[in-house]
């Protein structure tokens, strides 16, 4: 694919994610990540091609817009939608999922606030991430700042509904994998988020998150609405 | 002395009575309400349960060859499910427990699907994919409970499939010889048509797909192609979110539970996914994947041994009792 064009170096498997394989290597001398959306054996080939192509293009587009809006996310170096490949800069750091439970509270709060700020900036730019979980945030080792990664499900949207889904997904990833720190983490996240989107939008999104959670099946709180 | 627990299931269309003696299943009685047309009418199902309930319990005791006095406790599914149906099972169980002066054990129906699945497939700590008429969720054990990692944002997979085939005139019956009408109709389909494939993070959504698919049928697109496309899209979305949850949780086993687990096409897709990730796949056999009393009895036994009981006058049914509301103190024992 890319190596055959003489653009890439030897690649080393970094991670096998749910929908893509991440490879580490050099691209034009820059330490890079190759994100390759591999065909899924369980999907009809036509559906598979459509899903992979659309997501590759959308991801690249939204990552560029995100950076424009002041969100830390990797620089894009090359996009090949038919092959399902994006080449981007390599961020040295740890996944938030792996370090959140062991961070001291004050440090975690500052970090979560920063993530809230970036989520707010992303939303201000008219983009929703679509898969905002603690697995999709890298905490950069050099400057200690969070980077949003995996824009594979990102969409252009200014709907409060879609913004609410982002915040809801993030909250649920805290609940499911970081149960002990979730209240503190979510509060700090919302502090940062509110600073960027403003009081009015914050209230709208928070109310939407509540509504989304009530919509889920078998939610106890919903009873009160009857 | 061996612990013997009788379990009553009545959350939807099945009135089930199961009895377990430690890990041994000694009775499994089931009565299923089959509507002549449309879906499950909760009141009709409840009436049916009231008629057959007492005899179903006697039958289970008879087939186990024990007397009600031999029971250690009585377990009952208090939710989630249809209110009128739940109340019938709960009434039977409360009456038995009070009359026999035996402990009453509250069981969550979703937890019971998982526990019986673990019992019959021998998996230990799986990613759980729970697919049935009323449920579509992906969960895994973490910090004391089965935590929900993904679920449907609107309608459940089984509900979606049932509604679609009913609206296009293929059902009821929804399932013939163990094959759902959607799978049956899709067998003739060849061409994939453009319908919405909605995955939001680890959640799925089927309401848009349902609307678009029904519109396609009305527009004159060959039904078999719509069925095929619907099946491909709906099942692929489920497998995709399962794969995402696997990546997120790092679990090494997948356990598919619930009434929709029986589809061979869904199984093929799961096999392709788990095979490529080197993860073990366990699908609960149809007999225990559908609603039954054994799963309530077995989970009741686990709960009882962890000291969980409820006073009959406090054993309220909970129509929306969430899976992640339930502590699982027996996990890993």
A166 carries an active-site annotation:
no
Domain contains B331: no
Mean pLDDT (chain B, rounded): 92
Annotated active-site residue in A94, A131, A159, A183 = A131
SS3 B14: strand
Residue in chain B closest to A40 (alpha carbons) equals B273
Q: What is the pLDDT of residue A135?
A: 87
- B315 and B260 in one domain? no
CA-CA distance, B186 to B171, in Å (whole number)? 14
Report the SS3 class of residue B35.
coil
Distance CA B286, CA B258 (A): 9
Span B205-244, pLDDT tens digits = 999 999 999 999 999 999 999 999 999 999 999 999 999 8
Cβ atoms within 10 Å, residue A61:
16
Chain A residues in contact with chain B using a Cβ-Cβ cutoff of 8 Å: 16-19, 40-44, 46-47, 51, 97, 130-133, 135, 153, 165, 169, 172-173, 175-177, 179-180, 212, 215-220, 222-223
pLDDT at A5 (0 to 100): 47
| Nearest chain A alpha carbon to B139 | A176
pLDDT at A141: 84
Residue B63 sits in the same domain as residue B208? no
Q: pLDDT tier at A226 (50, 70, 90 boundaries)? A: very low
The stretches of chain B forming alpha helices (DSSP H) are: 42-64, 83-100, 109-121, 157-167, 181-186, 207-219, 223-249, 264-277, 286-289, 293-305
Residue B319 lies in a domain: yes
| Nearest CA-CA partner of B119 in B317, B309, B300, B329 | B300
Whether the Cβ atoms of residue A115 and residue A100 lie closer than 8 Å to each other: no
Distance spanning both ends of chain A, measured CA to CA: 58
pLDDT greater than 80 at residue B38: no
State the residue range of the domain holding B294.
4-113+290-325
pLDDT mean over B98-106: 96
Considering only CA atoms, which of A37, A1, A5 is closest in space to residue A21?
A: A37
The confidence band for A110, taking pLDDT boundaries of 50, 70 and 90, is very high
> Is residue B48 located within the same domain as residue B175?
no
Q: Is the pLDDT of residue B37 over 50?
A: yes
Residue A4 pLDDT exceeds 60: no
- Cβ within 8 Å, pair A42-B154: no
Enter the CATH code of domain A93-225: 1.10.510.10
Closest CA to B255 of B129, B148, B72: B129
Residues of chain A positioned with their CB less than 8 A from the CB of B209: none
**How many angstroms separate the CA atoms of A169 and B259, rounded?**
27
User: Do B152 and B279 sit in the same domain of this protein?
Assistant: yes
Q: What confidence score (pLDDT) does residue A225 get? A: 40
Delimiting residues of CATH 1.10.510.10 domain(s) in chain A = 93-225
Q: How many beta-carbon pairs under 8 angstroms link A with B?
A: 110
Tell me: do B77 and B162 sit in the same domain. no
Task: Domain count for chain B, please give it.
Answer: 2
Q: Which residues contact A46 (CB under 8 A, 6 or more apart)?
A: B192
- Whether a cis peptide bond, with omega within 30° of 0, leads into B147 is no
Q: Which DSSP category does A8 fall into?
A: B
Nearest C-alpha of chain A: how many angstroms from B172? 25
B142 vs A177: CB contact, 8 Å cut-off?
yes
CA-wise closest residue to B109 among B60, B68, B146, B152: B146
Whether residue B166 sits in one domain with residue B137: yes
Please check whether residue B12 lies inside any domain of the structure.
yes
Q: What is the distance in angstroms between the Cα of A28 and the nearest Cα belonging to chain B?
A: 30
Q: In this structure, are residues B209 and B243 in contact, taking their beta carbons and an 8 Å threshold? A: no
Q: Does the domain formed by A3-89 have CATH 3.30.200.20?
A: yes
Q: DSSP code of A125? A: T
The alpha carbon torsion through A50, A52, A56, A57 (nearest 10 deg) reads: 0
pLDDT bucket at A16, cuts 50 / 70 / 90: confident
Could you tell me if B139 and B283 lie in one domain? Answer: yes
Here the CATH number for the domain that contains residue B44 is 3.30.420.40
CA distance A20 to chain B (A): 11
Q: Indicate whether B275 and B294 sit together in one domain.
A: no
> Which chain A residue is nearest to residue B194, measuring alpha carbons?
A47
Distance CA B156, CA B322 (A): 15
Which of the four pLDDT bands, split at 50, 70 and 90, describes residue A9?
Answer: low
For the cut 70, the answer to whether the pLDDT of residue B184 exceeds it is: yes
Tell me the residue ranges of DSSP E strands in chain A: 12-16, 20-27, 30-37, 76-80, 85-89, 93-95, 127-128, 137-140, 146-148, 155-156
DSSP B310: B
Local structure of residue A74 (DSSP, 8 states): P
Condensed to tens digits (0 to 9), the pLDDT of residues B143-181 reads 899 999 889 989 999 999 999 999 998 878 888 888 899
List the 199-218 stretch of B: residues with Cβ below 8 A of A: 199-203
What is the C-alpha separation between A211 and B198, in angstroms, rounded?
20
Q: Which helix (H) or strand (E) holds B200?
A: strand B199-200
The answer as to whether B321 is a domain residue is yes
**Alpha-carbon torsion (A70, A72, A75, A80), positive or negative:** negative
> At residue A125, what are phi and psi to the nearest 5 degrees?
-80, 0
Q: What is the pLDDT of residue B77?
A: 97
Condensed to tens digits (0 to 9), the pLDDT of residues B247-304 reads 888 899 999 998 888 888 999 999 999 998 899 999 999 899 999 999 999 999 999 9
- Asked whether residue B43 falls in the same domain as residue B171, the answer is no
Residues 6+ apart with CB under 8 A from A156: A62, A65, A126, A127
Task: Say whether residue B264 is in contact with chain A using an 8 A CB cutoff.
Answer: no
Measured between beta carbons, the chain A residues lying within 8 angstroms of B275 are 41
pLDDT at B333 over 90: no
Residue of B248, B268, B281, B323 for testing the chain A interface, max A β-carbons within 10 Å:
B248
Is B73's pLDDT higher than 50?
A: yes
Picking from A19, A130, A218, the nearest residue to B201 by CB comes out as A130
Same domain, yes or no, for B269 and B184? yes
Q: Over the Cα atoms of chain B, what is R_g?
A: 20
The DSSP bridge partners found for residue A36 are A21, A85
Lookup result for tokens 């696997």 = B246
Chain B residue closest to A214 (CA)? B153
Q: B156 and B272: one domain?
A: yes
Q: Mean of the pLDDT values across residues A146-162?
A: 90
Contact B200 A179 (CB under 8 A): no
- In chain A, residues under CATH classification 3.30.200.20 are 3-89
Nearest CA-CA distance, residue B154 and chain A, Å: 7
- What tokens appear for A71 in the block? 């969100």
Interface test with B, best of A14, A16, A17, A18 (most B CBs within 10 A): A18
Which residues are CB-contacts of B170 (< 8 A; sequence separation ≥ 6)?
B181, B182, B184, B185
Which of B260, B255, B262, B264 is CA-nearest to residue B286?
B262
Looking at the structure, do residues B150 and B267 belong to the same domain, yes or no? yes
User: DSSP string covering B248-295, please?
Assistant: HH--SEEEEESGGGG-HHHHHHHHHHHHHHT-EEEE--HHHHS--HHH
**Cβ <8 Å between B148 and A172:** yes
What is the SS3 assignment for A37? strand
């Amino acid at each position: 694919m890319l190596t055959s064009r003489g653009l890439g170096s030897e690649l080393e498997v970094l991670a096998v994610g749910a929908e893509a394989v991440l490879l580490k290597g050099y691209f034009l001398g820059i330490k890079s990540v190759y994100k390759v959306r591999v065909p899924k054996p369980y999907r009809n080939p036509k559906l598979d091609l459509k899903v992979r192509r659309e997501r590759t293009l959308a991801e690249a587009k939204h990552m560029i817009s995100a950076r424009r809006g002041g969100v830390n996310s990797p620089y894009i170096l090359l996009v090949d939608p038919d092959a399902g490949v994006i080449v981007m800069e390599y961020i040295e750091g740890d996944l938030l999922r792996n370090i959140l439970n062991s961070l001291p509270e004050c440090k975690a709060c500052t970090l979560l606030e920063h993530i809230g700020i970036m989520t707010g900036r992303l939303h201000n730019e008219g983009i929703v991430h679509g898969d905002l979980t603690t697995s999709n945030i890298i905490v950069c080792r050099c400057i200690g700042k969070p980077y949003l990664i995996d824009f594979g499900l990102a969409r252009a949207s200014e709907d409060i509904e879609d913004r609410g889904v982002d915040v809801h997904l993030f909250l649920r990833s805290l609940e499911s994998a970081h149960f002990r720190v979730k209240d503190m983490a979510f509060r700090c996240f919302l502090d940062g988020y509110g600073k960027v989107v403003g009081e009015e939008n914050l209230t709208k999104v928070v109310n939407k998150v509540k509504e989304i959670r009530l919509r889920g099946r078998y939610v106890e709180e919903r009873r009160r609405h009857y | 002395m061996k612990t013997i627990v009788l379990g009553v299931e009545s959350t939807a269309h099945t009135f089930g009575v199961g009895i377990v003696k430690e890990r041994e299943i000694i009775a499994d009685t089931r009565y299923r309400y089959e509507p002549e047309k449309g879906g499950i009418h909760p009141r009709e199902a409840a009436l049916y349960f009231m008629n057959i309930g007492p005899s179903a319990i006697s039958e289970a005791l008879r087939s186990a060859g024990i007397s009600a006095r031999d029971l250690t406790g009585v377990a009952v599914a208090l939710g989630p499910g249809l209110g009128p149906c739940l109340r019938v099972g709960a009434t039977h169980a409360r009456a038995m427990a009070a009359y026999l002066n035996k402990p009453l054990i509250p069981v969550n129906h979703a937890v019971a699907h998982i526990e019986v699945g673990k019992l019959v497939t021998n998996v230990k700590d799986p990613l759980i994919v729970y697919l049935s008429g009323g449920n579509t969720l992906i969960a895994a054990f973490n910090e004391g409970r089965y935590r929900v990692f993904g679920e449907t944002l609107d309608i459940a997979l089984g509900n979606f499939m049932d509604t679609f085939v009913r609206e296009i005139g293929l059902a009821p019956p929804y399932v013939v010889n163990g094959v759902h009408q959607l799978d049956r109709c899709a067998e003739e389909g060849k061409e994939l048509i453009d319908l919405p494939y909605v995955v939001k993070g680890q959640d799925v959504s089927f309401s848009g797909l349902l609307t678009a698919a029904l519109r396609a049928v009305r527009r004159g697109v060959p039904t078999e192609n719509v069925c095929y496309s619907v099946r491909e899209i709906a099942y692929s979305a489920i497998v995709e979110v399962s794969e995402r949850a696997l990546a997120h949780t790092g679990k090494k086993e997948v356990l598919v539970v619930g009434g929709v687990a029986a589809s061979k096409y869904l199984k093929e897709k799961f096999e392709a996914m788990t095979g490529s990730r080197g993860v073990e796949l366990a699908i609960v056999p149809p007999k225990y994947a559908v609603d039954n009393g054994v799963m309530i009895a077995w989970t009741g036994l686990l709960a009882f041994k962890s000291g969980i009981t409820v006073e009959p006058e406090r054993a309220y049914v909970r129509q929306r009792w969430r899976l992640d509301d339930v502590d699982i103190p027996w996990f890993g024992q």
